[in-house]
């Protein structure tokens, strides 16, 4: 059996399961809800994450983005449009395709500035990837796999299965737990979303004094993240 044939076989088994269909709808709704509030804020011209200090690494970015005028509004309109596309079954794939580059960019940005929202953006990215896999039968023709007659046979619609896919949902649970745990131990220090949040984390830091200096470097002096990290490393030494 070809690679495409094996993928089609696994896909058809999943596509015919009612629980996975419910999960796909759940992912569409959750991702749409993730874009609607932020889209409305941008369309109204308000600064996104207004509670985030301008001195925060992500705050620098959001403040600059807010000052781009109609580009900022364009992003908001795009997010609202994508949310609507996701909620409509016929246009859900288009919404998922448009969602992917945006959430990938947001996810990488969150990790780059050590934002506290890295966990949620990672889960949103994984949910988006699931939706793209869910519509594999519609995008497989642009993938670098040779299509055969066997693939067409396997792609035929099968009866709906009511069996609960415990292995799949067990994997989802493990993946969520892994994202949370890995993010918890990924960085020795984070700037937090505010000075208080940053300093509150210093109690459990290996060098509380160096941690407090790092928080002041970020939230009081407004220096770049890499500068403050360099000073933090030197203070620890």
Angle at the Cα of 83 from the Cα atoms of 79 and 85, rounded to 5 degrees:
115
Among 78, 109, 141, the domain-final residue is 141
| 93 occurs within a structural domain | yes
| 164 occurs within a structural domain | no
| 223 occurs within a structural domain | yes
| 168 occurs within a structural domain | no
The tens digit of pLDDT for each residue in 204-233 reads: 888 899 999 999 999 999 899 999 999 999
| 102 occurs within a structural domain | yes
Predicted local distance difference test score (pLDDT) of residue 23: 96
- Nearest one of 155, 33, 12 to 83, comparing CA atoms: 33
Q: Are residues 116 and 192 in the same domain?
A: no
Q: Are residues 24 and 135 in the same domain?
A: yes
Among 77, 112, 141, the domain-final residue is 141
The CB-side HSE value for 109 (13 A sphere, CA atoms) comes to 13
Q: Which residues contact 174 (CB under 8 A, 6 or more apart)?
A: none
The tens digit of pLDDT for each residue in 8-44 reads: 777 778 888 899 999 999 999 999 999 999 999 999 9
Angle at the Cα of 44 from the Cα atoms of 43 and 47, rounded to 5 degrees:
95
Domain count, the chain: 2
Q: Is the pLDDT assigned to residue 148 strictly greater than 70?
A: no
C-alpha 117/C-alpha 173 separation (Å) is 19
Cα Rg for the chain, rounded, in angstroms? Answer: 22
| 159 occurs within a structural domain | no
Question: Any idea what DSSP says for residue 17?
Answer: B
Q: Are residues 130 and 21 in the same domain?
A: yes
Q: Are residues 88 and 203 in the same domain?
A: no
Question: Any idea what DSSP says for residue 50?
Answer: T
Range of the domain at 228: 188-237
Q: Which residues contact 184 (CB under 8 A, 6 or more apart)?
A: none
Tell me the pTM.
0.88
Q: Are residues 95 and 11 in the same domain?
A: yes
- Diameter over CA atoms, the chain: 67
| 148 occurs within a structural domain | no
| 176 occurs within a structural domain | no
C-alpha 198/C-alpha 211 separation (Å) is 8
C-alpha 232/C-alpha 237 separation (Å) is 9
Among 109, 141, 173, the domain-final residue is 141
């Amino acid at each position: 059996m070809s690679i495409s044939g094996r993928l089609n076989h696994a896909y058809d088994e999943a596509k015919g399961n009612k629980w996975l269909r419910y999960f796909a709808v759940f992912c569409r709704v959750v991702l749409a809800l993730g874009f609607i509030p932020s889209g409305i804020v941008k369309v109204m011209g308000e600064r996104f994450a207004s509670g985030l200090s301008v001195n925060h690494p992500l705050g620098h970015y959001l403040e600059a983005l807010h000052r781009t005028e109609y580009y900022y509004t364009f992003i908001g309109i795009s997010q609202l449009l994508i949310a609507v596309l996701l909620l409509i079954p016929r246009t859900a794939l288009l919404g998922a395709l448009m969602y992917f580059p945006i959430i990938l960019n947001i996810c990488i940005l969150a990790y780059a500035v050590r934002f506290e929202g890295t966990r949620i953006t990672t889960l949103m990215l994984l949910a988006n990837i699931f939706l793209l896999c869910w519509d594999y039968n519609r995008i497989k023709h642009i993938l670098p796999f040779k299509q055969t007659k066997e693939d067409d046979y396997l792609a035929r619609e099968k009866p709906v299965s009511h069996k609960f896919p415990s292995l799949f949902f067990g994997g989802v649970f493990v993946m969520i737990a892994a994202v949370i745990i890995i993010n918890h131990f990924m960085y020795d220090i984070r700037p937090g979303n505010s000075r208080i949040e940053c300093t509150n984390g210093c109690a459990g830091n290996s060098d509380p004094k160096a941690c407090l200096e790092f928080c002041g470097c970020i939230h009081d002096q407004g220096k770049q993240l890499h500068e403050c990290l360099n000073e933090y490393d030197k203070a620890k030494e």
